[in-house]
Amino acid sequence: MKNVALFGAGRIGRIHASNLAALPGVKLKYVSDPMEGPARELAQQLGAEVASVEAIFADKSVDAVAICSSTTTHSDLILRAAAAGKNIFCEKPVDLSVQRAKACADAVKAAGVACMIGFQRRFDPTFNEASRRLAAGEIGKPEMLVITSRDPGAPPVDYIKASGGVFRDMLIHDFDVFRWILCADGDEAAWISATGSVLTEPALEGLDFDSAAVTIRTRRGRICQIGASRRAAYGYDQRFEVLGSEGLLQCANQTPTNVVQWNGSGIHTDKPEHFFLQRYAAAYKLEITHFFDCLQSGQPFRTTVADGVAAQMLADAATESARTGQPVAF
């Protein structure tokens, strides 16, 4: 039985908590959150105890920690967990600073603990199947990747101010998808160009972008295009398509139902799942299962702290490119 402590009893923390609590051989022992109310409620619901950060790291019986607290606490908790010899599951991002993210990677390595970063898209059944079939050679060698990444609506301006900007907060997932899909054989980003606009959230003017486009060229000449928006009127739009030498693999959105209505104004189907909690519900379960399966088997994680650092570097470069209007070469 693996004892686990959870940091962060917010939205994503609750998802991971209930998923891991349902796994055989895993026990959610502690919940920790600066806000006592949510921590107590979640702990009670899942038969865990509320504990302080210190108490958790001091408890030798804790095998692993799940870091689902706010972004600014990630790197500190990773460093302390590594020092305490705990295995780590950490929500993206490692840290908004590439330097601190790298320090985390170093610490994890030095401590010899396992550290997985929660890039849940890699566990989405549709995305994952596309990746598997690409790796199996179904469309030959990959050439171009087009990622569509649109949210149903922007978060509050205060959140955005602290988020590191759209490339670090939102496109970080897409940078990881780029690396997963186009760079699986050792290829790497060589050139990145990004641009952004304020089209949907006037309050962001001068602060950030709500609409963004990124192009990445790899060393082998493969090309990735990412188009992103903080607000799509029809909801959460998460697609990608990869063109290969022998065909195309395309990932369509997931819908709540398969009902089709035909009437005088046309033929109508469901919008995509509302937002990430719905779209990635299966992915969150598969992701945390993967974490504990790997701890058990000793197999490497599919998404490591190095992946977190690499995605962060792309986000930094995109941020700079969009600011200056000039591409960045690696």
Q: Which residues bind its own copies (CB under 8 A)?
A: 22, 125-126, 129-130, 133, 138-140, 143-144, 146, 148, 150, 191, 193, 195, 197-200, 211-213, 215, 217, 221-223, 225, 227, 229, 232-235, 237, 243-254, 256-271, 325-327, 329
DSSP H helices in 121-170: 125-135, 157-161, 166-169
User: Of the two residues 5 and 283, which places its CB atom closer to its own copies in the complex?
Assistant: 283
d(CA 72, CA 66): 15
User: Of the two residues 258 and 297, which places its CB atom closer to its own copies in the complex?
Assistant: 258
CB of 140 to its own copies, least distance (A): 7
Dihedral, CA of residue 313, residue 173, residue 22 and residue 129, to nearest 10: -120
Angle at 282 between CA 184 and CA 81, to 5 degrees: 70
Backbone angles phi, psi at 195, to 5 degrees: -145, 155
CB of 187 to its own copies, least distance (A): 12
CB of 166 to its own copies, least distance (A): 13
Exposure b/e, 158-183, CB count within 10 A at least 16 = b: eebeebbbbbbbbbbbbbbbbbbbbb
CB of 251 to its own copies, least distance (A): 6
User: Of the two residues 210 and 307, which places its CB atom closer to its own copies in the complex?
Assistant: 210
User: Of the two residues 158 and 257, which places its CB atom closer to its own copies in the complex?
Assistant: 257
User: Of the two residues 174 and 237, which places its CB atom closer to its own copies in the complex?
Assistant: 237
CB of 318 to its own copies, least distance (A): 12
How many alpha carbons lie under 13 Å from residue 39 in its C-beta half-sphere? 19
CB of 20 to its own copies, least distance (A): 15
DSSP state of 302: S
**Which has the closest alpha carbon to 169: 330, 318, 31, 61?**
318
User: Of the two residues 72 and 261, which places its CB atom closer to its own copies in the complex?
Assistant: 261
